[in-house]
Amino acid sequence: MRVTVAHEGKNLPKGSPTPRRSRLQGTSDYQSVRRLLFYEKGAMSFQAREIEPEVLEKILKASTSCAWLGKWRLVSVSKKENIVRVVESWQSGLRKIGQNRDVEFVERWKKAPLLIAFCQPRKLDQFHFVAGDLVRIFSVQEIGTAVRSIELTALAYGIGLHGIMGILVPEVVEPINEVLEIPRDHEIVYFGLMGYPDEEVAQRFPSLNQVCYAEKWGNPVASNLT
């Protein structure tokens, strides 16, 4: 005999998984998430204010939710003297490539209470039928999701994140690698500064139809989705 149990007005076969209401189905929950995703201003400098240890732990732990492949490692720098050393090594790299104007600009980052550097091996082995070069791409994607998890958690505490693309330039990153003692067979894939915002700039986000196609390339999304 088929036995059913009542759940939210529906009859389900006994032993079926009980459907759970998504936390994001509630309007208030969605608005909270949206506020973090589409934050109005981004940090361009930080207050000289430390991040509380329990908050710092929550921020860093958020990265572990994105470690399916798990080839990356995160180096976090929160001691003031070490932050200064990293920034000074960064400035040294900028001088090597003649970016003296930027040397002055990044002086502000010595106030940041937290630096993060996501690293991964320069070469990765083949995974099942996926070649090592493609595994490396996937690992970079995984780092991107870890960065976003860190950022969203930090924003919940009023802490901003500012990523630095210039760190990817070999002459700039090499002095930083030395200070952080990154192994030679690893590379920094993402470098960011975090803290309570001081100077901020308005964020601009594209409309959906600027970045999204429907069903196939070049096909605009429906007007009611833009």
Cα–Cα distance measured from residue 220 to residue 209, given in angstroms and rounded to the nearest whole number: 6
Q: pTM for the whole thing? A: 0.83
Question: What Å distances lie between residue 26 and 10, 19, 88, 155, 218, CA to CA?
Answer: 20, 16, 47, 20, 33
Cα–Cα distance measured from residue 103 to residue 184, given in angstroms and rounded to the nearest whole number: 25
For the cut 90, the answer to whether the pLDDT of residue 152 exceeds it is: yes
Task: Say what the pLDDT of residue 157 is.
Answer: 94
For the cut 70, the answer to whether the pLDDT of residue 224 exceeds it is: no
Task: Say what the pLDDT of residue 8 is.
Answer: 42
Domain boundaries, the chain: 49-201
Cα–Cα distance measured from residue 77 to residue 194, given in angstroms and rounded to the nearest whole number: 10
- In terms of CATH, what superfamily is 49-201? NADH Oxidase (3.40.109.10)
Both tokens of 62, joined, read 């958020």
Higher pLDDT residue, 125 or 6? 125
Name the percent of the chain lying above pLDDT 70.
Answer: 86
Determine contact, residues 150/60, Cβ cutoff 8 Å: yes
Cα–Cα distance measured from residue 196 to residue 208, given in angstroms and rounded to the nearest whole number: 30
Q: Over the stretch 109-120, which tens digit does the pLDDT of each residue have? A: 999 999 999 999
Task: Say what the pLDDT of residue 11 is.
Answer: 52
Q: Over the stretch 14-45, which tens digit does the pLDDT of each residue have? A: 555 555 555 545 667 777 787 777 777 777 88
Both tokens of 90, joined, read 């960064």
Instruction: Return mean pLDDT, the chain.
Output: 87
